[in-house]
């Protein structure tokens, strides 16, 4: 099955028009010794009914456990309208809007998206999205190097409270261009950047400081002081933020006296399902003075030949198809489909709905923390407020506890020992508006039993 519409008569007429006797003859420029025989290693074709059965079986294997992990991907309610719109063929099966006149729908949607993201982050401009939050941090670091003409060191300070996968991805994406990422230590009591961690960089040439808010542990950094410290030393500030949290928390554009220079983050919480990690989208916004250093597509509003408003891709002189080796990035696509979903999501939520989601997630996480810290052997790891995640210490090794929870249909959180072994037996948990009091009680009871069993063993 290959979705081919040709009848035998079509094929004969087409071959006659070309002047060849067979389709095979069309491949006669390929050296014969390179031609492939039978294609071993690919199974026989399946009909739609057969693949439907197979995928349903695979899906059933994974089930639908109750999920209490966040760590950069968050389960939120997604209104039915979001994907009903996003999977319309006119959005789903269109390409990058190169022919603007035939792509006004996508272009206007991107312009509306740019407006929403710029405002949500408190910045001037937004691009049309990046691949995901982690790779956007790499791109933002490269952008900071281009934008900070006062610095020549290519040194980027990254707190160890930034998502570990983001740090690894940024190093992989940007490291080949000579960027150096230097880690700032965190406080084991507070789960935040260690006060005084920046002192040793006074007087040194630093290009940018990355600040994640809320940080990987869900904790709130002192963004105003950090931002002002950087700006006083001609260091650019790259903010890494959770878009849901911005309904409640101060947007990067309002951090400190001047505001952050570049804001990026994972757009997934805005109407994109968890779906094993992707496709998601990274957002990137910035102050107007840096717009020409931004990577990726940007949509602008202009006029057509009749003087009416219309939308088009703009500032393309930054991009690879024009600048080739001198482009700001090799990025070509954005994550258009996910941006479509996010724009519909933000429209349905509005400012009030997004606030409600953020507040409810915060409240559920407090409720979860209260319930779990009543379980014998469980305590909070850090003091002070969080947004919607909490790090917990438990008195038994984490991995087997998580496995017994999974066997009970609960994905209980993230084992922190892989990335933060110094924290001991620690677990990062999250609750959003999707969790009920009954869900939380169910988890607390299960954890009580799992820990009891682990102690007895």
Q: Footprint of another protein on residues 369-408 (CB under 8 A)?
A: 385, 402-403, 406-407
Least Å distance, CB 33 to another protein, is 8
Q: Which of residues 256-275 bind another protein (CB under 8 A)?
A: 266, 273-275
Least Å distance, CB 94 to another protein, is 4
CB 220 within 8 A of CB 159: no
Least Å distance, CB 127 to another protein, is 9
Q: Which of residues 219-258 bind another protein (CB under 8 A)?
A: 220, 223-224, 246-251, 254
- From the list 352, 422, 456, 457, which residue makes contact with another protein (rule: CB under 8 A)? 352
Q: Which of residues 33-72 bind another protein (CB under 8 A)?
A: 34-36, 38-48, 51-52, 54-65, 67, 69, 71-72
How many other CB atoms sit within 10 Å of the CB of residue 244?
Answer: 26
Least Å distance, CB 454 to another protein, is 16
- Based on the shown chain and the rule CB under 8 A, indicate whether residue 453 belongs to the binding site for another protein: no
Least Å distance, CB 200 to another protein, is 26
* Site size with another protein, rule: CB under 8 A: 205
Least Å distance, CB 195 to another protein, is 16
Given the rule CB under 8 A, which of 151-159, 167-175, 228-236, 437-445 is the region that contacts another protein?
167-175
- From the list 193, 197, 433, 451, which residue makes contact with another protein (rule: CB under 8 A)? 433
In 3D, which of 401, 443, 130, 413 has the Cα closest to residue 286?
130
| Cβ proximity to another protein, 375 vs 398, nearer residue | 398
Q: What is the rounded radius of gyration, in angstroms, for the C-alpha atoms of the chain?
A: 26
**Long-range contacts formed by 198-206: CB under 8 A, 24+ apart:** 198/157, 198/226, 198/229, 201/157, 201/233, 202/233, 204/153, 204/155, 205/151, 205/152, 205/153, 205/155, 206/151, 206/153, 206/155, 206/156, 206/157, 206/230, 206/233, 206/235
CB 333 within 8 A of CB 97: no
Q: Is the peptide bond before 60 cis (omega within 30 degrees of 0)?
A: no
| Cβ proximity to another protein, 385 vs 397, nearer residue | 385
Structure tokens, 44:
């026989």
In 3D, which of 420, 444, 22, 386 has the Cα closest to residue 185?
420
- The residues facing 393 across adjacent strands are 379, 426
Distance CA 345, CA 300 (A): 22
- Based on the shown chain and the rule CB under 8 A, indicate whether residue 454 belongs to the binding site for another protein: no
- Based on the shown chain and the rule CB under 8 A, indicate whether residue 195 belongs to the binding site for another protein: no
| Cβ proximity to another protein, 201 vs 354, nearer residue | 354
Q: Which of residues 105-144 bind another protein (CB under 8 A)?
A: 105-106, 108-109, 111-112, 114-116, 118-120, 124-126, 128-129, 131-135
| CA atoms lying within 13 Å on the CB side of residue 390 | 27
**Exposure string (b/e) for 269-300, b if CB count within 10 Å is 16 or more?**
bbbbeeeeeeebbbbbbbbeebbebbbbbbbe
- Based on the shown chain and the rule CB under 8 A, indicate whether residue 199 belongs to the binding site for another protein: no
- Based on the shown chain and the rule CB under 8 A, indicate whether residue 289 belongs to the binding site for another protein: no
- From the list 146, 205, 327, 396, which residue makes contact with another protein (rule: CB under 8 A)? 327
Least Å distance, CB 203 to another protein, is 28
- Based on the shown chain and the rule CB under 8 A, indicate whether residue 182 belongs to the binding site for another protein: no
CB 225 within 8 A of CB 105: no
- From the list 14, 180, 232, 453, which residue makes contact with another protein (rule: CB under 8 A)? 14
| Cβ proximity to another protein, 134 vs 144, nearer residue | 134
Name the residue with tokens 């009543």: 374
- From the list 257, 330, 437, 445, which residue makes contact with another protein (rule: CB under 8 A)? 330
């Amino acid at each position: 099955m290959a979705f081919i519409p040709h009848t035998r008569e079509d094929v004969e007429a087409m071959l006659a028009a070309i002047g060849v006797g067979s389709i095979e003859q069309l491949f006669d420029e390929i050296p014969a010794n390179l031609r492939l025989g039978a294609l071993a290693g690919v199974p026989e074709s399946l009909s739609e009914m057969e693949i439907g059965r197979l995928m349903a079986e695979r899906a059933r294997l994974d089930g639908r456990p109750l999920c209490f992990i966040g760590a950069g991907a968050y389960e939120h309610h997604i209104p039915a309208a979001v994907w009903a719109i996003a999977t319309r063929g006119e959005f789903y099966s269109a390409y990058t809007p190169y022919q603007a006149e035939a792509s006004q729908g996508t272009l206007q949607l991107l312009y509306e998206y740019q407006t929403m993201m710029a405002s949500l982050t408190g910045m001037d401009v937004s691009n049309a999205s990046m691949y995901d939050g982690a790779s956007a941090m790499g791109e933002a670091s490269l952008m900071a190097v281009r934008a900070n003409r006062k610095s020549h060191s290519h040194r980027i300070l990254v707190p160890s409270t930034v998502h570990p996968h983001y740090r690894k991805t940024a190093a992989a994406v940007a490291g080949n261009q000579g960027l150096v990422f230097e880690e700032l230590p965190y406080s084991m009591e507070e789960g935040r950047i260690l006060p005084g961690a920046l002192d040793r960089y006074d007087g040194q040439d630093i290009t940018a400081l990355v600040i994640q808010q809320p940080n990987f542990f869900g904790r709130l950094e002192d963004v105003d002081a950090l931002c002002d410290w950087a700006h006083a030393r001609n260091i650019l500030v790259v903010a890494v933020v959770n878009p849901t949290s911005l309904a409640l928390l101060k947007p990067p554009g309002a951090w400190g006296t001047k505001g952050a220079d570049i804001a990026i983050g994972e757009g997934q919480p805005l109407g994109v399902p968890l779906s094993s990690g992707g496709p998601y989208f990274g957002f990137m916004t910035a102050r107007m003075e840096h717009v020409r250093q931004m990577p990726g597509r940007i949509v602008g509003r202009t006029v057509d030949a009749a003087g009416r408003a219309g939308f088009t891709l703009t500032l393309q002189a930054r991009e690879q198809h024009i600048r080739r080796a001198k482009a700001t990035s090799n990025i070509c696509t954005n994550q258009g489909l996910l941006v479509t979903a996010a724009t519909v999501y933000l429209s349905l939520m509005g400012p009030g709905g997004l606030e409600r989601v953020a507040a409810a997630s915060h409240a559920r996480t407090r409720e979860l923390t209260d319930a779990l810290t009543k379980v014998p052997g469980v305590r909070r790891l850090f003091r002070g407020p969080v947004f919607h995640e909490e790090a917990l210490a438990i008195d038994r090794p984490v991995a087997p506890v998580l496995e017994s929870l999974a066997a009970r249909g609960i994905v209980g959180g993230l084992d922190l020992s892989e990335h933060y072994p110094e924290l001991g037996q620690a677990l990062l948990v999250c609750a959003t508006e999707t969790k009920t009091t009954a869900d939380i009680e169910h988890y607390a009871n299960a954890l009580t039993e799992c820990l009891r069993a682990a102690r007895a063993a």
